[in-house]
Structure 1
Amino acid sequence: MILTRSLCCYLALLPLAIPAVAQVELTPFVGFRMGGEFDTRDDTDESESRVRLDDTVSQGLLVNIDLQEPGKQLELYMGRQETTADIPQGLLSPPRDRVDITLYQLQFGGLYFPGGKTTGGFVSGVAGVTRLAPKHSNLDTHHRASLTLGGGYKFPVTEHVLLRLDLRGIYTVLDSGGSGFCSGGCNVRFESSGYLQVEAGAGLAIRF
């Protein structure tokens, strides 16, 4: 709830930072996301296990708005990945060794272009919320803080179209000791402080 309120406050202040006539970019992207593993503990017998997320395709939308200072843009990052978690034996009841899960990111931050333009190389940083949503109805959905740092390059194709390439690291905070996947009661706890994924993506930015 606190993270959602903070994001709403950032969005409410956007008009104060955006020039009266600002250039906007919309970039649908596809990518490939790798990595993501974290430790859990079963409270019934104190056993510890490691959950691993499969490497899969990701997709999403990037929204960028030019700031008055050259070489800087606001960025809204919305990402989605359908993956499968490899579950150690005995962690869930009834037993499952794989659980389909969808990860969503909603993050806000900015881009910086060392060259002072809105094309060429850039570094990026956004922060917000990750939603972990298992597809099984008896498993809980979780919302956790997350941070994404990365870099990339924008190649101008035409006056209003750019090819954007990104490489980003996405870190999701799990809060060690918080509840984990639950099934027939909540005996599973996160033991990791978080997990890291790496995403390589590409998209066409429409600038207007």
Structure 2
Amino acid sequence: MHWHIGKWFFPRQFSARVAMRAALGVTLLAVAGTAAAQAPVDDYPNYEITPFFGYMAGGEFEDPASNTDRDIEEDNDFGVIFNAAADQWRHYELLYVQQSSEIGGAIPLDLDVQYLQIGGTVSNPDAKRVIPYFGLTVGAARFSPDQSGLDDETKFAFTVGTGVKVPITERIGVRFDVRAFVSLLDTDGNIFCVSDEGGGACAIRTKSDTLLQYHAALGLTIAF
């Protein structure tokens, strides 16, 4: 991306004299501007990396013995976003997110959730100071229970997100990201099953064929 001084617009009701004075003022500011402000529109960074820290909620399971809800507890998450520019307003995106939480219930079950996704974003090509964007990704979700004998589960997942990027300098900015994570689960309804030969008991049952989580995160973007 490249951030540069935008155009000035004058209402039609301004007199010619006011317009001339304003134009002269803009011209003087342009002459006094920095070289960075005069860079061409297509001179934007090719890559961005954004480490972030956020908060994730959502995710519902069911206890197969009591039929009671067992939800993933809300907790902090962290990760990194890597972007490669297709052009100034379109980026390819690689996203990694991890949450360390637990599944609630009479006996809580510690759980790590990881998402690895690839996709892209589109942004408003005319925005300069605050740049809104919309993004889609597809990839995998991995659910890792911290209990001996229980299998990890890797599922197909996708995300839908939006947010804003706020440039501070040409190479540094902040990014606020809001995103929904949707994981597709097995139709048999069982998850986190015992992997040894002693039996096929499963610790958790799914409530539907999808698992929905969502997060809000704030990151520091470094462009290069």
Letter in 2 for 1:135: D
Provide TM-score, normalisation by structure 2: 0.72
Give 1:129's aligned amino acid.
A
Deviations 1:172-196 (A, max 9, x none): 1112205412246323353520211
Q: CA deviation at 1:22?
A: 6.5
3-state SS of 1:167 partner: strand
**In 2, Cα distance between equivalents of 1:172 and 1:197:** 8
Match of 1:18 in 2: none
User: For 2:201, which of 165, 181, 187 is the aligned residue?
Assistant: 187
Q: Which residue in 1 is equivalent to 2:55?
A: 32
Percent of aligned pairs sharing the same letter: 30
Runs of 4+ with deviation above 4 angstroms: 116-119
In 1: Cα distance, 2:199 partner to 2:189 partner: 14
Q: Which runs of 5+ in 2 are unaligned?
A: 1-43
Aligned to 1:81: 99
Aligned pair partner of 2:75 in 46, 56, 65: 56
Q: Tell me if structure 1 keeps the 8 A contact 2:103–2:109.
A: yes
Higher strand share: 1
Aligned residues: 175
| 1:1-208 map, 5 Å | 23-39=46-62, 41=64, 48-68=67-87, 70-87=88-105, 97-115=107-125, 120-177=131-188, 179-183=190-194, 185-188=199-202, 189-208=205-224
Higher Rg of the two aligned structures = 2
> Counterparts of 1:187 and 1:178 in 2: how far apart (Å)?
13
Comparing 111-120 and 125-134, the one that deviates more: 111-120
Gap regions ≥5 residues in structure 1: 1-20, 90-96
- Give the CA RMSD over aligned residues: 2.1
| Matches of 2:73 and 2:186, distance apart in 1 | 22
> How much has 1:135 moved relative to structure 2?
1.4
